[in-house]
Amino acid sequence: MVKLAAFASGQGSNFKAIHRHLKKLSLPGRYVLLISDRPNPPVADFANAEGIPFLHLNAKGFSSRDDYVKRLLTELKAHKVEWITLAGYLKLIPSEVVRAYNGRMMNIHPALLPSFGGKGMYGMNVHNAVVDSGVKVSGASVHMVDEEYDTGPVIIQETVPVTYEDTPEEVAARVLEVEHKIYPQAVELAVKDKIRLHGRRVEILP
Ligand code: GRF
């Protein structure tokens, strides 16, 4: 069984979708830890109900950055975490953790990377920018996490149409539906060990 951790700051609808997918299909992966930078995010209630340990860890609660990073790594090790999934986590993951989980940490972004990504591009900012730009498609991207925002290799992308009369909220809802489909698929590939990295290119084994 592949042990997974999730980092989430908010609703955690992606975390829930992944967790349900793993259980429903009896896939060889389970969440063993949920970490949040916030003390009581809505997603923590779901984790509690499902018996998944929840940890509130924020750099601000530590006397030094080093202590914070050490604690993060200690917790991940103690729970024997093999893969990390970021699901609406709004903080940058410390580079030490990214390096420790190189090729074993993924994120979902609510647009077609490398467009509409980067610092400040989260939540409705993304969908506002998409609508303002006039593009005819948007979508979701599951990607590996590297030391920058939204720049890691893409694992799966799926598009949604955008019409001239769409509001950012309508695009967001359409994209979220696709997120709940492709993020569980990507995690399924990870726990089945079907993902291979070739530089920036990701191979999906049959
Ligand atoms: C999603 O749109 C995701 O793409 C982005 O943050 C949002 C989180 O939603 N990274 P949720 O917390 O999973 O419901």
Q: Which two tokens stand for residue 78?
A: 């103690």
What would the pLDDT profile of 71-124 be if each residue is shown by its tens digit?
999 999 999 999 999 999 988 899 999 999 999 999 999 999 999 999 899 999
Task: State the catalytic residue, choosing from 19, 21, 109, 143.
Answer: 109
Domain presence at residue 91: yes
Closest atom of ligand 1 to 87 CA is 13
Closest atom of ligand 1 to 110 CA is 4
Q: Which two tokens stand for residue 130?
A: 């998409």
d(CA 33, CA 166): 38
Number of folded domains that form the chain: 1
Residue to mutate, 108, 119, 175, ligand 1, most ligand atoms under 8 Å from C-beta: 108
Domain presence at residue 203: no
- Distances in Å between the Cα of 116 and the Cα atoms of 42, 111, 122, 132, 201 are 26, 6, 9, 11, 20
Domain presence at residue 180: yes
What would the pLDDT profile of 1-21 be if each residue is shown by its tens digit?
999 999 999 899 999 999 999
pLDDT at 87: 94
d(CA 44, CA 82): 21
Q: Is 115 in the pocket of ligand 1 (CB under 6 A)?
A: no
H/E stretch holding 140 reads strand 137-144
The response to whether 138 counts as a known ligand-binding position is: no
Domain presence at residue 204: no
**Integer-rounded Cα radius of gyration of the chain:** 17
Give the list of residues 6+ apart from residue 1 with CB closer than 8 angstroms, or none: 28, 29, 30
Domain presence at residue 115: yes
| Burial (Cβ within 10 Å: 0-12, 13-18, ≥19) of residue 149 | middle
Tell me the CATH number at 94.
3.40.50.170
d(CA 47, CA 79): 15
Domain presence at residue 25: yes
Domain presence at residue 206: no
Question: Structural domain of residue 100, as residue ranges?
Answer: 2-196
Active site residue 19: no
Domain presence at residue 172: yes
